[in-house]
Structure 1
């Protein structure tokens, strides 16, 4: 007679299998060796999957069942991923092409991303030119073994940045055999077609042969999704006339542009005759005339802007593991992740002629004070200019022929990494030593930037002037629209050593100690492109130079003083050569009060060290919300006589400067949770989290008491409001605002509080099959920003726009996975839900619906109504996408799969406050609702293993 011995439930859950060992009835059952693992957030191995800290584990199988083919897509749908996250849908971002995770909505800079438990070199182009992060879009999909998401502060273990949590991406360590995967997919509405092929091969069995060697390679291509493939939808259309606003389609004259704008045909305009006089216009192309122009029939369709950039990714990773005898193993790993993408800010006015004057560019040259250079005092074409037949000096409106209609950046990112890990036992200690080097290099080619001085010199040549209709010489185009390149590089070198051991047995279990030391050095060399820094082809680009060295010692003590109670304490001491020292303690407990109920909790201090962009040699230009010029539009009304309409509701530029006296950001956090197993196969965890970050490093322009000192351009003739709603040309008392400087400062705090539920259930229905369900739900109770004593509640709003980007801050996010399997068939449905949120941001003064569309990145949707936003756009509705994925094991070696993403083709909700797609005039949130912009997406694939 045989009987089965089942491993403890925690081990079964950790590895997803039930172990059964046969034994003869008359023999004592053999006790299996309990396999222990080290979970992210601790240095001490354990057998229990559920730790005192909330940890979400995504296995390679879980990841494959999503139907996605990139790690960035998988992580973007985490319920804990919130405000400030970076997606690849916003192709005009500072960190164009990259993707980052923002746990608890506290920004990518406060979420630490590890690879195999070690730090990775950050992306050289920081988020908003400030926050450093690891680009998860370049991580190879098929090389991932699992992802562990620690939703708790962990600076006591990992040091800087681990304030909101840790994402530990664990790559394959060994492989035996050969496996090939292929996928191809396409969007129902056009664009986005992708295909992927990946192969992994390995030899050697670590136990029998004493070694294992493997290599994995992956290539993925994705076509761009163009705005023109979606512009029939409301959220992608610039025409707001039937929604109470303006027609913002390029080439349509309206109240927001004073009825003068570049269209499909270049034209000259004599301001003396007024905008309503047909004789004031000279159209250079017979396909457009005054009647057509005023009727909105000379539009320029945006066929260049991307809703999702074209990208190519090639990744290769190789590993070699060798048993050195006894318990010692040496693991060597090398990898290269390469991504290429085409990014741009859409069809911009920067690619059109300057009709009145050109104020110049802001030049950002390292080591020099920002300067306005290459100003063109008057761009009017003289009455005797060969192009001008109006008999008076005239303005030239139109797009510059031969210049790309988008300021485009072809971005290439190459991440290389070398790592060595030595593990073994010595005198009762489990030892782990590691050393490595990582480098991320970006190479960017810039197109579509205009040298205005060269342009107007060519337009005013007495002979053979530049032709606004095209057909100009290659020499002219090379001078007017140069193509130029730039490189940026980020490096990380690290080494660490730690050991752990059991010290003694207590009544409830072991007393264990872990201790270690670590060292790393970061180097960032991100110069500005020459032509941009000199103000020749556009406004100065961001640049950063700097390095930091960190040395740290850390320890963890874990004890089980009584049965079913686990307590631990940890501490870390860091020394930075940039500012000094930080000490961060932490404590945790877990108490099984009942076989069906366990209570757990944590307390942690954390910090983020100021980085090179904040304290090094760095600068950037930015803008974040619309204002009325305090002199040129003091009352905010475009039609008030004497006001300059272009100075009403416009977005000024700021030049960011560093502050070498910054102190670290500091945090306190705690969690309190329940682990419930009320019935067999049903588990639930409910965790409350509370994270407060003090001493935050923000730009001072976002503070309530900030009074900008504007640098103005010289006063020149411009459009000024005249009596009875007319428009006249006059020279105002002062010039337009060029920029204001804004320094980084330690100011205020942010507190994020919420509750997260993780519910899992499995049901075996015999011959019918097996069912599974898992729900992760995050509810944000509160998100408070405090600045200079002013407190703003931002949960469920669009804030904080200034602190970590204008990506929206919904209170609720959820992911529900439903699965069914029978024999070779496996079917999974995944529902990703984001709750509604307000378009307002009280932290920047957007306190009522009338101001909703003029916040960060605000536009003139409703300039015909004094920029008052209708109430129905005050709330961004909820969004639900449903993904279907099926796999079928056709043979022992061959598996087929198919998926439909956003199966019900849900469109993204309209968001008038987001800046995510400012260049192409779309009105959806690319961070939260990109699946809606893509639309229904089909893919099929196959894998073969032998």
Structure 2
């Protein structure tokens, strides 16, 4: 027997109306109640706190978009992770993750639910947000977006709003899908998914599996990616090659820090780090715009009605994101150096090195200073910069990331004497 289902969203006014018996509701004949934003019965789109509902039909009309594409299409959504995380400081520790940022208040203030329950935070995420790329996209039947704060109901992580991913209900049969996206300069992106559903007299089962692949896209494939420092300084590091250097006699400076005269000639930008002369180094040509990524999701759900007023729900999710080749700039100083990580004063070159003598002369130092100098301390320096590391295929360092999530949720709900309960 089918039960009534209501979408929820409310306020103090809605409470008063409900208590007075005048609450307006639009009823749909579905199997269970899912709450988004409030515990007060009402309608999602007409209540004081409106909820946008993006159903399966609309998702199909949009071409079954990826989670990140769906989120970006929301007018209320602010900047999100998910397209390219390499150059975002907020993405450090969660490369390959996707986030939700309602009203631009940040992912920490946007609550993400799966079937009305909190879901697992992104593993290793510096922001602590939920990685939406690990959601079981193939199993999602609709998405409800509460566009206003719900901190009174959920806590401070719902100040910006709530996004509730709800799996397919009463789905029967087998649904298989695949797609390919051509991307100029890469091998393209492709995905595949399968969903199986069974509905019996007193319960149902839903099984789904999904796979998505994003191909590597190098920065060198896009002319706009590598811009001069004064146009876009975000792809430049103060730690460069050629380095700045401090002329010394033993450990005693004989002059101030000098910038190598050939900085601009090898593609650097002659600038200052505070008051210290520096040769800014562009690491953009060594990096990717999009990393090579593989994502897997397996989801299973079972529902059983033991009686008209007693229902068991169990769901399990396993998801994985694998990024086998993350590119980094060559000889990254925070992770490399002859005495361990560092960038200031860890390299020293004697004046007997012809390059040192040339650098001193090109810096315009007087013969007296040059004569008193027997070594230079290299600072703000990476040993292999402009030319890259010939020992690496890409010229820079290569790393990897793998994220796994396991999630199990179960609930038993019913009604006693007209009062609903849920554990």
- Alpha carbons of 1:293 and 1:99: their partners in 2 closer, same or farther (altered >3 Å)? closer
Counterpart of 2:276 in structure 1 is none
Query: Do the aligned partners of 1:345 and 1:408 also contact (CA within 8 Å) in 2?
Result: yes
**2:233 aligned with 1:237:** no
| Unmatched runs of 5 consecutive residues or more in structure 1 | 1-10, 12-31, 251-255, 263-270, 277-289, 363-373, 434-946
Partner residue of 2:401 out of 373, 392, 411:
411
Asked whether the equivalents of residues 78 and 102 of structure 2 are also in contact (C-alpha less than 8 Å), the reply is: yes
Residue of structure 2 in register with 1:105 after alignment: 104
Residue pairs, 1:178-327, within 5 angstroms: 178-187=174-183, 189-191=184-186, 193-205=188-200, 209-230=201-222, 232-233=223-224, 236-239=225-228, 260=242, 294=265, 304-327=286-309
CA distance change for structure 1 residues 50 and 38 in 2, over 3 Å: closer, same or farther? farther
User: CA offset at residue 296 of structure 1?
Assistant: 5.9
Q: How far 1:197 sits from its partner (Å)?
A: 1.1
In the alignment, the residues of structure 1 paired with residue 112 and residue 50 of structure 2 have an alpha-carbon distance, to the nearest angstrom, of 16
Three-state SS of the structure 1 residue aligned to 2:145 is strand
Say if 1:107 and 1:302 are closer, same or farther in 2 by CA, change over 3 A. closer
Q: In the alignment, what sits opposite 1:59?
A: 55
How far apart are 1:259 and its partner, in Å?
9.3
User: What's the offset of the Cα at 1:260?
Assistant: 3.6
Tell me the CA shift for residue 430 of structure 1. 2.5
Q: CA deviation at 1:123?
A: 1.5
Shift of 1:169: 1.0
Using the size of structure 2 for normalisation, the TM-score is 0.68
Query: Contact conserved, 1:190 with 1:225, CA < 8 A, in 2?
Result: yes
TM-score by length of 1: 0.33
1:735 corresponds to: none
- Displacement of 1:305 in angstroms is 1.1
Q: Tell me, yes or no, if the aligned pair for 1:143 and 1:216 is still in contact at 8 Å.
A: yes
Alignment of 1:821-836 (within 5 A): none
Q: Conserved in 1, the CA contact under 8 Å of 2:99 and 2:131?
A: yes
Determine the C-alpha separation between the residues in 1 that align with 2:299 and 2:335.
49
Post-superposition Cα deviations, 1:393-415, rounded to whole Å, max 9, x if no partner, equal 57777544425644544111111
User: Alpha-carbon deviation of 1:168?
Assistant: 0.9
Question: What CA distance in whole angstroms lies between the structure 1 residues aligned with 2:346 and 2:179?
Answer: 56
1:334 aligns with 316
Q: Does 1:90 align with 2:85?
A: yes
Relative to 1, partners in 2 of residues 1:431 and 1:358: Cα closer, same or farther, differing over 3 Å?
Answer: same
What is the CA distance between 1:326 and its match in structure 2? 2.5
Corresponding residue of 2:419: 429
Alpha-carbon contact 2:283-2:329 (below 8 Å) kept: no
* Mapping of residues 496-511 of structure 1, within 5 Å: none
Provide, for residues 777-820 of structure 1, a one-character-per-residue CA deviation record: whole Å limited to 9, x for no partner.
Answer: xxxxxxxxxxxxxxxxxxxxxxxxxxxxxxxxxxxxxxxxxxxx
Describe how 1:354-365 pairs up with structure 2 within 5 A.
361=341
- Aligned partners of 1:122, 1:416: CA distance in 2, in Å? 11
Separation in structure 1 between the aligned mates of residue 391 and residue 241 of structure 2, nearest angstrom: 25
Q: Gaps spanning 5+ residues in structure 2: where? A: 1-5, 7-25, 245-254, 269-280, 359-373
Superposed CA RMSD: 4.3
Distance in 1 of aligned mates of 2:236 and 2:325: 21
Question: Partner of 2:145 in structure 1?
Answer: 149
CA–CA distance in structure 1, aligned partners of residues 301 and 122 of structure 2: 24
Distance 2:318 2:260 in 1: 58
Distance 1:336 1:305, change over 3 A: same
Matches within 5 A, 1:686-725: none
Q: 1:409 to 1:66 in 2, by over 3 A?
A: farther
1:420-454 Cα deviation digits (max 9, x unpaired): 12232221123322xxxxxxxxxxxxxxxxxxxxx
Question: What do residues 225-251 of structure 1 show as CA deviations (whole Å, max 9, x unaligned)?
Answer: 210110x23xx123468x7x99x999x
Deviations 1:799-855 (A, max 9, x none): xxxxxxxxxxxxxxxxxxxxxxxxxxxxxxxxxxxxxxxxxxxxxxxxxxxxxxxxx
Q: Compute the displacement of 1:154 (Å).
A: 1.2
Q: Which whole-Å deviations, capped at 9, do the CAs of 1:897-942 have from their partners, x for residues lacking one?
A: xxxxxxxxxxxxxxxxxxxxxxxxxxxxxxxxxxxxxxxxxxxxxx
SS, match of residue 132 in structure 1: coil
Compute the displacement of 1:317 (Å). Answer: 0.8
Change (3 A) 1:61 1:304: farther
Q: What SS does the corresponding residue of 1:75 show, helix, strand or coil?
A: helix
Q: 1:344–1:408: 8 Å Cα contact kept in structure 2?
A: yes
